[in-house]
Amino acid sequence: MNVKQNNSLKVICEKLGDNKINFLINKLQESKKQDITIFEIQEWTRLPVDYSNEFLELLNSFQCMETLCIAMEMQNKIETKKLEYNQQTKLIMTGPLSGKNIGHTLGNYKSLIENAKKEIILVGYVFNNIHNQMDSIVESLLSATSRGVSVKIFFEKGKSSNSLRDIWKNNKNSKLLELYVYKPKEKNSVLHAKSIIQDNYSILVTSANMTGSAMTKNIELGILYEGKLASEARKMFINLIDEGYVIPVP
């Protein structure tokens, strides 16, 4: 395998995640055709066009499809082991005791956004920018999209997403922002999770909503984790999109 193939393989496997890699391998092995189309790749992976084209080019560069499947399996195992080896956990808090050994909620939210290289997934019950208290988070998100970072945000109801969309609408990078709201299939079910996932590797799970009070005044508690479980959480939210439990805000 040459350098270009290896780099493309890393990018595609990172983008897909464990479940979709295994699903794609099964589809490739089941297919009897040699001329798999980009439309089939997108149907199987739901990758954007650019990544689908990159995978098609990668596929065509291998003389044997089975060799590519083996390479994907090996790359997936390597990434899984890296995540397991490098995992770390830290306590995050809003309140009077956050300090040297306990990270502060607002600072860690901003740090995760500002250090993101590829993707941010934000999940919240509500977003509220009363007295512009969330401006620093919004500015960090805008800066991230200017670097080409994809931002997906999930809310319980449309009011929060509409508020953020109004703030965002005049920004030239707004196409990199995807807003979703929960469409429950069961009565009295709500999206109550509060979390931020960075680059499929770091995740902060917290009691804090996306409001100024929750970020700076209340007593809120969370865990910042780096490792494989972050990719599991990301897959869960991507699956919610795929299965229609959350729908895009136009």
Residues 100 and 144 in one domain: yes
Report pLDDT digits (tens) over 127-156.
Answer: 888 888 888 898 899 899 888 899 999 998
Which of 59, 84, 109 finishes a domain? 84
Final residue belonging to a domain, choices 84, 99, 116: 84
What's the confidence (pLDDT) of residue 30? 84
Residues 224 and 123 in one domain: yes
Question: Same domain, yes or no, for 141 and 197?
Answer: yes
How would you write the pLDDT of the chain (250 residues) with one tens digit per residue?
A: 788 888 888 888 888 877 788 888 888 888 766 678 888 888 888 888 888 889 888 888 888 888 888 898 888 888 777 766 666 888 899 988 766 567 889 999 999 999 999 999 999 998 888 888 888 898 899 899 888 899 999 998 777 777 777 777 766 666 678 889 999 888 889 999 999 999 999 999 999 999 989 998 899 999 999 888 899 999 999 999 999 999 988 7
Q: Write down the residue that tokens 């189309």 correspond to.
A: 37
Residue type, 131: H
Task: Please list the residues that pair with 221 across neighbouring strands.
Answer: 93
Same domain, 69 and 92: no
Q: Residues 83-86: contacts with CB within 8 Å, 24+ apart? A: 83/201, 83/227, 83/228, 83/230, 83/231, 84/227, 84/228, 86/226, 86/227
Distances (CA, A) of 100 to 64, 111, 222: 54, 16, 16
Same domain, 55 and 116: no
- Model pLDDT, residue 195: 96
Same-domain check for residues 67 and 131: no
Out of 84, 106, 136, a domain closes at 84
3-state secondary structure 39-83: HHHHHHHCCCHHHHHHHHHHHHHCCCHHHHHHHHHHHHHHHHHHH
Q: Are residues 74 and 104 in the same domain?
A: no
Same domain, 106 and 187: yes
Q: What pLDDT sits at residue 148? A: 87
**Residue 223, domain extent:** 87-248
How many domains is the chain built from? Answer: 2
Residues 46 and 128 both lie in one domain = no
Please report the pLDDT score of residue 47 as a whole number: 83
Q: Round to whole Å and give the CA distance between 180 and 156.
A: 9
Residues 55, 91: one domain?
no
Separation between Cα atoms, residue 68 and residue 21, nearest integer Å: 12
91 lies in the same domain as 48: no
Please state, in angstroms and rounded to a whole number, the distance separating the CA atoms of residues 25 and 79: 16
Is the domain of 95 the same as that of 54? no
**The model's pTM:** 0.66
Using DSSP's 3-state secondary structure scheme, residue 16 falls into: helix
User: What is the reported pLDDT for 11?
Assistant: 87
CATH of the domain at 132: 3.30.870.10
Structure confidence at residue 49 (pLDDT): 85
